[in-house]
Amino acid sequence: MSLRVPKAELPAELRENMTKQLGAVPEPVEVVWHSPDVATSNLEFSAKLAEWDTADAGLKSFAHMAVAALVGCGWCLDVGYFQALNQNLDLTKASQVPRWRESDVFTPLERDVLEYAEAMTNTPPTVTDEMYAGLLDRLGAAAMVELTAYIAFVNMATRNNNAHGVASQGFSEVCGIPLAERTVTSGAASTA
């Protein structure tokens, strides 16, 4: 996949800060910068999301990768593995998120969060009362609200990247883990 709109030129200070923070400027920012208001709002909301701490960060990261795998956002999977490394998550688990149903590395709670992330991502969504209640019982109301909002935002980001043709940027190469391919089911595309 190639970018469907060329990268925009970012202000020098923003480019330098992102390079210091991540080692490179994220292509989604360069693409969306054609509308600085949209890009700035997205960056500000992303920063606010990073401050949320009621729901477990690892669960949110795995949920993000599950959404990315289902939507087919290679960039989000790429950066998700990079973030998993920086959050000291289990990299074996992170590498298995795209095929979590076949993998035996996840706890029952992690499996339920991955299922919930996919159910929210399906079109139309397939979240059931039982699925929601099971997580609510274990996470509590505040964490459940946070997890749900987080997954909703990730859906927006993955679909935005996909529509613009943003692909993997190589962030995950520092992880040294093989990336699992998603098992193809019901017409879904495999991601690598």
Check: CB of residue 103 under 8 Å from CB of residue 117: no
Q: What's the pLDDT score for residue 183?
A: 58
Give CA–CA dist 157/163, Å, rounded. 10
Give CA–CA dist 119/125, Å, rounded. 6
The predicted model scores a pTM of 0.90
Q: What's the pLDDT score for residue 186?
A: 47
Per-residue pLDDT of the chain (192 residues), as tens digits, is: 799 999 999 999 999 999 998 889 999 999 999 999 999 999 999 999 999 999 999 999 999 999 999 999 989 998 888 888 888 999 989 999 999 999 999 999 999 999 999 999 999 999 999 999 999 999 999 999 999 999 999 999 999 999 999 988 888 877 776 666 655 554 444 443
Q: What's the pLDDT score for residue 191?
A: 42
Q: What are phi and psi of 106, to 5 degrees?
A: -95, 145
Give CA–CA dist 72/92, Å, rounded. 20
With left for phi above 0 and alpha for psi between -120 and 50, is residue 65 left, alpha or beta? alpha
List helix spans (H) across 52-140. 57-71, 74-86, 91-96, 108-121, 129-139
- Residue 158's Cβ-count burial label (10 Å; 0-12, 13-18, 19+) is buried
Q: What's the pLDDT score for residue 46?
A: 94
CATH class of 52-175: mainly alpha
Q: What are phi and psi of 103, to 5 degrees?
A: -90, 150
Count of CB atoms situated within 10 Å of the CB of 56: 17
Distance of CA 184 to the CA centre of its chain: 19
